[in-house]
Amino acid sequence: MSELLRIENISKRFGSFYANKNINLTVEEGEIHTLLGENGAGKSTLMNILVGLYQPTDGKIFLKGEEVHLHSPNDAVSKGIGMVHQHFMLVDAMTVFENIILGDTNAKEIVIDREKRRAQIQELAQRYGFRIDLDKYITEISVGEQQRVEILKALYRGAQLLILDEPTAALTDIEVEGLYDVMHKLVEEGKSIIFISHKMREVMHVSDRITILRAGEAVATVKKDEVSAQELAAMMIGRDLAASSFEKVISGGSAVAELDHVSYNRNSKHYGLNDISMKIRSGEIVGIAGVDGNGQTQLAQVLTGVIAPEEGTISLGDSKILVYDPNNFILRRTAHVPEDRNLQGLVGDMSIADNLVLRRVETDKFSSLGGAFLKKGAILSYAKEMVEKYDIRSRSASQTVRSLSGGNQQKVILAREMEAEPDLLVVAHPTRGLDIGATRFIRQQMIDARDRGVGILLISADFDEVLELSDRILVLFEGQIMGEFPGENPPVDEISLAMTGR
Ligand SMILES: Nc1ncnc2c1ncn2[C@@H]1O[C@H](COP(=O)(O)OP(=O)(O)OP(=O)(O)O)[C@@H](O)[C@H]1O
Ligand SMILES: [Mg+2]
CATH number of residue 233's parent domain: 3.40.50.300
Ligand 1: residue whose CA is nearest its atom 25? 39
Q: What residues are paired with 459 via a beta bridge?
A: 288, 428
In a domain, 366, yes or no: yes
SS3 395: coil
Instruction: Name the DSSP class of 95.
Output: B
Q: How remote is the CA of residue 252 from the centroid of ligand 2, in Å? A: 41
Residue 139: the pLDDT is: 85
pLDDT tens digits, residue range 38-55?
999 999 999 999 999 999
In a domain, 248, yes or no: no
Q: How far apart are CA 224 and CA 208, in angstroms?
A: 6
- 85 Cβ below 6 A of ligand 1: no
Percent of the chain with pLDDT over 70: 96
Residue 108: the pLDDT is: 55
Atom of ligand 1 at shortest distance to CA of 407?
A: 26
- What does DSSP say about strands 32-36 and 192-196: parallel, antiparallel, or unpaired? parallel
| Same structural domain, 287 and 174 | no
- 305 Cβ below 6 A of ligand 1: no
Percent of the chain with pLDDT over 90: 68
101-115, 400-414, 487-501: which range is least confident on average? 101-115
- 345 Cβ below 6 A of ligand 1: no
Please state the pTM of the whole predicted model: 0.85
Instruction: Name the DSSP class of 264.
Output: E
Q: Could you write out the DSSP letters of every residue in 10-39?
A: EEEEETTEEEEEEEEEEEETT-EEEEE--T
pLDDT category, 176, cuts 50, 70, 90?
Answer: confident
Sign of the torsion angle spanned by Cα atoms 181, 44, 462, 304: negative
- 86 Cβ below 6 A of ligand 1: yes
Number of domains in the chain: 2
37: closest CA among 28, 29, 25? 25
Q: How remote is the CA of residue 209 from the centroid of ligand 2, in Å? A: 19
Site to probe by mutation for ligand 1, drawn from 405, 411, 431 as the one with most ligand atoms within 8 Å of Cβ, is: 405
- The CA-atom distances, in angstroms, between 77 and each of 158, 182, 266 are 8, 20, 42
Ligand nearest to the CA of 48: 1
- 211 Cβ below 6 A of ligand 1: no
- 214 Cβ below 6 A of ligand 1: no
Ligand nearest to the CA of 164: 2
Q: How far apart are CA 171 and CA 128, in angstroms?
A: 14
Backbone angles phi, psi at 330, to 5 degrees: -65, -40
Reply yes or no on whether the pLDDT at 344 is more than 80. no
Site to probe by mutation for ligand 1, drawn from 17, 44, 346 as the one with most ligand atoms within 8 Å of Cβ, is: 44
**Degrees to nearest 5, angle at CA 350 with 164 and 353:** 105
Q: How far apart are CA 422 and CA 455, in angstroms?
A: 8
Atom of ligand 1 at shortest distance to CA of 38?
A: 25
Residue 391: the pLDDT is: 93
pLDDT tens digits, residue range 287-330?
999 888 899 999 999 999 999 999 999 999 999 999 999 999 99
Listed residues: CB within 5 A of ion ligand 2: 44, 86, 405-406
Average pLDDT over residues 460-488: 95
Q: How far apart are CA 402 and CA 272, in angstroms?
A: 32
Atom of ligand 1 at shortest distance to CA of 216?
A: 14
In a domain, 396, yes or no: yes
CB 12 within 8 A of CB 56: yes
In angstroms, the first-to-last Cα distance of the chain is 47
Reply yes or no on whether the pLDDT at 286 is more than 60. yes
pLDDT category, 358, cuts 50, 70, 90?
Answer: confident
Range of the domain at 137: 3-237
| Same structural domain, 197 and 110 | yes
**Degrees to nearest 5, angle at CA 87 with 86 and 88:** 110
3-state secondary structure 348-361: CCCEHHHHHCCCCC
For residue 287, give the H/E element and its range.
strand 285-289
In a domain, 249, yes or no: no
CB 473 within 8 A of CB 248: no
pLDDT tens digits, residue range 120-133?
999 988 887 778 89
Residue 34: the pLDDT is: 98
Give the strand order in the sheet containing 209-214. 81-84, 161-165, 192-196, 32-36, 209-214, 217-223
Out of 237, 267, 288, a domain closes at 237
| Same structural domain, 372 and 473 | yes
| Same structural domain, 195 and 293 | no
- 431 Cβ below 6 A of ligand 1: no
| Same structural domain, 158 and 33 | yes
Average pLDDT over residues 486-502: 92
